[in-house]
Amino acid sequence: MSIYRFVVNGAETEVDVPGMRRLLDVLREDLALTGTKEGCGEGECGACTVLLDGAPVDACLVPICQADGADVRTVEGLAGPPGPPGPAPEATLDALQTAFLQTGGAQCGICTPGMLMSARAYLDAGGGPDEDAIRDAIAGNLCRCTGYTKIIDAIALAATPAATLATRERTGGTA
Amino acid sequence: MTTRTQSPGAIVIQPGTIVPGRARGVAPLRREGPAKLTGAAKYADDLVFPDAWYGLTIRSTDAHARFVALDLDPAFDWSRVVVVTAADIPGDNIVSSIKSDQPILVPVGGEIQHHAEGLALIAAPDKATLRAARDHLHARTEKLPAIFDPLESDHEFARYAVGSGDVDAALAAADLILEGEYRVGHQEQLYIENNAMIAVPRDDGGVTVHGSLQCPYYVHAALKRGLALSDEQAHVVQAETGGGFGGKEEFPSVIGLHAALLAGKAGRPVRMIYDRHEDLAATTKRHPAIVRHRTGVTLEGRLIAQDIEVIMDGGAYCTLTPVVLSRGALHAGGPYRCPNVRIRARATRTNTPPNGAFRGFGAPQTEFAAETHLNRIAEALGISPLEIRRRNVYVPGDTTPTGQVLRDSVAGEEVLERAAEASEFERLRTRLASARTGRVGSGTIPGSPLRTGVERVASGIGLALAWHGAGFTGSGEVHIGSVASLELTAAGEIRVLTASTEMGQGTKTIFPQLVSEALGVAYDDVEVADADTAFVPNSGPTVASRTAMVVGGLLVQAAGRLRTQVEAATGGRFADTYRDHAATYGPIRIDQRFEPYPGVPFDDATYTGDAYPAFGWAACVARVDVDLDTGEVHVRDVVAADDIGRVIHPVLAEGQVEGGTLQAVGYATVEEIKLRDGRYLNDRLATYIIPTALDAPRISTILVEAPFGSVPHGAKGVGELPMDVGAPAVIAAIADATGVWINDLPASPERILAAMADLPAVAGLRPGASEPATT
């Protein structure tokens, strides 16, 4: 057992665990951040994708010793803090989550957290609404429900500058 | 891209308008979407139960054997764990299903029927102890001869004969007879959340099971029988479910029983969370099938006789095989008028893990064969694939082989024309053909097998058409007698109570849409209760694309009764008065029981009558590029036109079509289970592959609405329909590109290269010619 210190969703965090314990287990079991999912445990499905210093990684393949001192972001860190109670919970979602909700990019939802994190990394790196580039960015995240069509739509929507969307709305144009 | 088009009897709905009797207007956002998008949604493995132990299953490693003994290594401290064997089962050692043939655990002295069969269970306080216990436990067996070929097995799970007319006489009179044999293998559902159950002992001696499942009352029935519990003692709660596709229809009964047995013996909660390897190795797959066609046609391409034989591999236990086979048989001729039909279908037992439900439920297997066969007939006759379908597709008034007259909601022609038009099928087909002709020889190097890049890729386009019976087959719905309930609580809340589960398809969104529309209240004013057997009625399993049509119809009827009752008492509009009514008169609960739809009742003995209350119709056009050097197929784009009756929620419905289409593309191109001695060889996600975003085609969906008149909201269901039609469209496109027909799914590079090297095929299709079986 050793002490590892890192930042999770902006919060300084410390765990005392074996160095080879999977980052996935530290997040889910030690820190109760169950938004990150396990689909295969061998780096094939991408359901456990988190951002490690901004880069998307499969948390099932990262031993906690490699996360020491790193900045980790999970799906729980995407949305803003809960707003006042009301009928519109989506008000606290970020632009990417909102786009997924509007386009139908989430169905069963089990691949969604990992998919969002890969998409977040793509957008943060300046990715645009180009379909082929988006397909490439999420090629490591398997989805069995959607056929990917509406996931790609969602990421493209989130990658489209608000000014462009506003112009389209005024002129009645479509995407 | 989506367009909605008119079909005979269909109403074209402008976005934003509301038509009486249906839910419409601006489609609401997915009800549980925000929870799924923030990580707040709780799937089974996310649930925390203090002091829970971890459970696992000890499985056979033999395909067929006598279970001689279970040896516990005396060097291990067994007081740290619990071990469950068949001797610990309080009720019947049977997984409740159609036939009572599958044990919960094989008893010592009993017969092991497949390599992944459960022999014993262990639970331990931590995973390290659990693994150590497993390594100190040894099952002794004596091998028995095993059967892996369904054609060699003499143990039949089911057999059906469907037919009409005089097939032999019609074949004798045919201008052309074409024979063909088609084979499809196992397909894994590959929901991204593995099967998972957590059992918690109850104070009353019963058990509560929380898990990933489609059918709460199937698990409930299994717990009652296996653990000898009362209705109240067996308690099933669905957790958020990360995909099902049929794979969580019957298997949750097995894992639920296992978790419950361990929890009972350990006296504490036990978690049974499969990893991907165990899920792939031990849970149900789509049934492999062999389908043989012998078809007589006229020179104009009209079908006059179909002689079809279907053999399915049921695996080691019956599970739902008879019903899968039945649906496969009833869809085996395809959506075509033919006066003389003989369909013989049987399913046999092999020493492989049991096969079970998977989206389409027997129809994708037999419709792949029917569509590929029809495409080959068109090719032999020199008729376009589109034209031969125009000449044969069912139209209103036609009669199916069971004697069912198709009157209501018949849209085969409509989906065919819409898909052909949107994809520019005939124009592209001609253009691609001339491009291929003009290129012959241009890229080859004389004396060398190498080709230049110019000729390396061949493009093709393919078309397929399908029908899918809406809801249960035959008398299934009448036997189940589902109940859906609607509640107006004393606090003035409106709640939907059903056992229909949300697993991504949108149950929790469309139910409040339908009910709010019928009551004239806001969408957000209608709540949906969790699928928890403690308080929801048995509205039947969440299968067979029946949720929107059957359960949705019951809810609309229940809402009508609730509205009438409240408005009669108050004299005002429901929306204005229901809260006061609840405060004054107390709660109201409406239980709506299924009543048979009008039509000719299906006769299970003769296989005649209305096999389904209605059919959904789908057409698919696929474009592919085939690398002629490597045999690799890239499915570029797909146009899917699906008639699903009235559309309740366009975004969710398109999502079903897109997802089902990609599963069909995977079935056609990459998804394959390889077996050796009855064991799946590729039982990991690294080796069983499904399409990624880079493999997936662009999918354009056209929703056609031919409403079903026997339910108030006109919906027919959507989930399975797209699964039936994608694979034959892709195979037809590959044939267009390469000139070879792949009759054995998937069209892997190996199969394509082998077929191209042998140059089998089309030249042999002469009148009366018989096509040799491919492997």
> Quick one: average pLDDT of B422-444?
80
Q: Give me the torsion for CA of B415, A147, B530, B613, rounded to 10°.
A: 20
User: In this prediction, what percent of chain A has a pLDDT beyond 90?
Assistant: 83
B37–A149 C-beta distance less than 8 A: no
Closest residue, chain B, to A107 (C-alpha)? B504
Give the pLDDT score at B442: 47
Name the residue among B161, B146, B65 with its Cα closest to residue B349. Answer: B146
B504 and A108: CB-CB below 8 Å? yes
Which of B222, B251, B282 terminates a domain? The answer is B282
Within-domain flag for B704: yes
CATH classification of the domain holding A93: 1.10.150.120
Mark whether A101 and A71 lie in a shared domain: no
Residue A84 maps to a domain? no
Under an 8 A CB cutoff, do A152 and B693 touch?
Answer: yes
The residue with tokens 């639920």 is B256
Strand pairing report for B303-315 and B341-349: parallel
B734 and B695 part of one domain = yes
- Pair (B640, B710) in one structural domain: yes
Q: How far apart are CA B355 and CA B246, in angstroms?
A: 11
d(CA A43, nearest CA chain B) in Å: 9
Nearest alpha-carbon partner for B338 in B188, B481, B174, B187: B174
Contact B193 A42 (CB under 8 A): no
The pLDDT of B570-592, averaged and rounded, is 97
The token pair that represents B666 in the structure block: 């995977």
Cβ-nearest to A145 among B34, B276, B659:
B659
**Domain identity same for B620 and B691:** yes
**Residue B47 in contact with residue B198, Cβ under 8 Å?**
yes
User: DSSP label at B701?
Assistant: E
Angle at B195 between CA B683 and CA B498, to 5 degrees: 145
Instruction: Locate the chain B residue with the closest alpha carbon to A134.
Output: B693
The answer to whether residues B462 and B508 belong to one domain is no
In a domain, residue B586? The reply is yes
The verdict on A94 and A63 lying in the same domain is no
Query: Is A151 a domain residue?
Result: yes
Whole-number pLDDT of residue B311: 98
Element (H, E) at B469: strand B457-469
Whether A107 and B505 lie within 8 Å, measured CB to CB? yes
- pLDDT tens for each residue of A25-60: 999 999 999 999 999 999 999 999 999 999 999 999
Contacts of B276 in chain A (CB under 8 A): 39-42, 44-45
Provide the pLDDT for residue A82: 55
Tokens at residue B536, please? Answer: 């929801």
Look up the pTM and report it.
0.94
- Cβ-based contacts of A131 with chain B (< 8 Å): 698
Please name the residue that has the structure tokens 């764990």.
B81
pLDDT in tens, B97-138: 999 999 999 999 999 999 999 999 999 999 999 999 999 999
- List for chain A the helix, strand, coil content (%; round to 5): 40, 15, 45
Q: What is the DSSP string of B239-302?
A: PB----TTTTTSHHHHHHHHHHHHHHHHTS-EEEE--HHHHHHHS--PPPEEEEEEEEE-TT--
Contact B36 A104 (CB under 8 A): no
CA atoms within 13 A on the CB side of B357: 25
pLDDT tens digits, B517-534: 999 999 999 999 999 999
Region for residue B5 given its phi and psi (left: phi exceeds 0; alpha: psi -120 to 50; beta: otherwise): beta
Domain CATH for B542: 3.30.365.10
Element (H, E) at A2: strand A2-8
Residue type at B80? R
Question: Rounded to whole angstroms, what are the CA distances from A95 to B106, B219, B428, B588, B761?
Answer: 53, 40, 40, 42, 54
Asked if residue A55 and residue A107 are part of one domain, the reply reads no
* Residues A25 and A95 both lie in one domain: no
Tell if the CB–CB gap between A107 and B48 is shorter than 8 Å.
Answer: no
DSSP B80: G
Report yes or no: B191 and B243 within 8 Å, Cβ to Cβ.
yes
Tokens of B413: 């022609």
Decide: residue B87, CB within 10 A, 0-12 exposed, 13-18 middle, 19+ buried. Answer: exposed
Q: Are residues B465 and B497 in the same domain?
A: no
3-class DSSP assignment, residue B451 = strand
How many Cβ atoms sit within 10 Å of the Cβ of residue A170? 8
The minimum CA-CA distance between A158 and chain B, rounded to whole Å, is: 14
3-state secondary structure B580-641: HHHHHHCCEEEEEECCCCCCCCCECCCCECCCCCCEEEEEEEEEEEEECCCCCEEEEEEEEE
Going from the C-alpha of A89 to that of each of A79, A93, B35, B38, B521, the distances in angstroms are 11, 8, 9, 11, 20
Tokens representing residue B740 in the block: 């070879």
Q: What are phi and psi of B272, to 5 degrees?
A: -115, 95
Residue A83 lies in a domain: no
Q: Which residues fall within 8 angstroms of residue B583, CB to CB, at 6 or more apart?
A: B490, B492
State how far Cα B323 lies from the chain centre: 12
d(CA B718, nearest CA chain A) in Å: 13
End position of a domain, from candidates A25, A52, A77: A77
Using an 8 Å CB-CB cutoff, list chain B residues near A174: none
Cross-chain residue pair A140–B194, CB shorter than 8 Å: no
Q: Say if the Cβ atoms of B242 and A108 lie within 8 Å.
A: yes
Give the distance from residue B211's alpha carbon to the nearest chain A alpha carbon, in angstroms.
14
Cβ contact (<8 Å) for A110 and B32?
A: no
On whether both A119 and A67 belong to a single domain, the answer is: no
Whether residue B4 is predicted with pLDDT greater than 50 in this model: the reply is: no
Specify if B506 maps to a domain. Answer: yes
Quote the number of domains for chain A: 2
Point out the domain boundary residue: B235, B253, B282: B282
Query: Which CATH number goes with the domain that contains B57?
Result: 3.90.1170.50
Using a CB-CB cut-off of 8 Å, the residues of chain A touching B193 are: 37, 39, 108, 110
**CA distances for B473 relative to A158, B93, B97, B608, B746, angstroms:** 44, 29, 17, 12, 28
Mutation for A interface: B1, B192, B280, B651, most A CBs within 10 A: B192
Residue B59 covered by a domain: yes
Give CA angle at B687 (B633, A35), nearest 5°.
105
How far away is chain A from the Cα of B40, in angstroms, using its nearest Cα? 6
Residue B265: how many other CB atoms lie within 10 Å? 16
CA distance B3 to chain A (A): 14
Question: Is there a domain that residue B672 lies in?
Answer: yes
Smallest Cα–Cα separation from B303: which of B173, B409, B435, B213? B173
A151 contact residues in B (CB cutoff 8 A) = 693
Angle, helices B552-570/B507-519, rounded to nearest 10 degrees:
30
The conformation of residue A64, written as its DSSP 8-state character, comes to: G
Whether residues A165 and A93 fall in one domain: yes
Question: Is B435 a domain residue?
Answer: yes
Q: What's the rounded Cα separation, in Å, for the pair B239 and B42? A: 7
Identify all chain B residues contacting A148, using CB atoms and an 8 Å cutoff: 658, 662, 693, 696
Size of interface A-B (CB pairs under 8 A): 174
- Cβ(A70)–Cβ(A80) below 8 Å: no
- With an 8 Å Cβ cutoff, are B37 and A36 in contact? no
Residue after which a domain boundary falls, among A55, A77, A99: A77
Nearest to B470, CA basis, from B646, B248, B655: B646
B502 belongs to a structural domain = yes
Contact between residue B609 and residue B400 where contact means Cβ atoms under 8 Å apart: no
Task: Output the average pLDDT for chain B.
Answer: 93
Min Cα–Cα distance to chain A from B545, Å: 15
- Looking up residue A28, the CATH number of its domain turns out to be 3.10.20.30
B317 closest CA partner among B94, B467, B507:
B94
Residue B183: CB atoms within 10 Å? 19
d(CA A128, CA B96): 53
Whether A167 and A94 map to the same domain: the answer is yes
Cβ distance A139 to B693 less than 8 Å, yes or no, reads yes
Predicted local distance difference test score (pLDDT) of residue A113: 98
CB contact under 8 A, A147 and B30: no
| Nearest-by-CA chain B residue for A96 | B37
**Mean pLDDT, to the nearest integer, of B420-429?**
98
Tell me whether residues A104 and B30 touch, CB distance under 8 A.
yes
Q: B713-772, pLDDT tens digit by residue?
A: 999 999 999 999 999 999 999 999 999 999 999 999 999 999 988 754 333 332 333 333
For residue B680, report the phi and psi dihedrals to the nearest 5 degrees: -70, 125
B296 contacts B174 by C-beta, under 8 angstroms: yes
Residues B93, B240 within the same domain: yes
Range of the structural domain that residue B645 is part of: 411-471+611-759
Contact by Cβ (8 Å): B216, B536: yes
Two tokens at A172? Answer: 């009645």
**What are the tokens at B252?**
């949750």
- Whether A72 and A10 share a structural domain: yes
pLDDT confidence bin for B5, thresholds 50/70/90:
very low
Contact B726, B620 (CB under 8 A): yes
In the predicted model, what is the mean pLDDT of residues B62-66? 98
Is pLDDT of A66 > 80?
yes
pLDDT of residue B450 exceeding 80, the answer is no
* Cβ neighbours of B35 (radius 10 Å): 17
Enclosing domain of residue A117: 89-171
Q: Give yes or no for residue A83 having a pLDDT over 70.
A: no
Contact residues, chain A, for B655 at CB < 8 Å: 104, 107, 145-147, 150
CA distance A76 to B671: 34
pLDDT band at B3 (very low <50, low <70, confident <90, very high): very low
Residue B501 DSSP one-character state: P
Q: Measuring CA to CA, how many Å separate A11 from each of A118, B59, B160, B335, B645? A: 21, 44, 64, 60, 51
Classify residue B110: in a domain, yes or no. yes
Question: Nearest CA of chain A to the CA of B506: how many Å?
Answer: 7
- pLDDT reading at B1 higher than 70: no
The structural domain count of chain B equals 3
CA distance B176 to chain A (A): 40
**HSE-CB for B611 with a 13 A CA cutoff:** 25
Flag whether A82 is in a domain: no
Q: Over pLDDT 70: what percentage of chain B?
A: 92
Q: How far apart are CA B721 and CA B704, in angstroms?
A: 13
Give CA torsion, residues A53, A57, A60, A64, to 10 deg.
-20
Inter-CA distances, B420 with B413, B702, B723, Å: 11, 11, 19
Residue A53: CB atoms within 10 Å: 13
Contact A97 B37 (CB under 8 A): yes
Which residue in A41, A79, A142 is closest to B192 by CB distance?
Answer: A142
A44 close to A88: Cβ distance less than 8 angstroms: no
pLDDT band for position B441 (50/70/90)? very low
- Which tens digit of pLDDT belongs to each residue from B627-677? 988 999 999 999 999 999 999 999 999 999 999 999 999 999 999 999 999
Residue (of B684, B525, B523, B700) closest to B619 by Cα position: B700
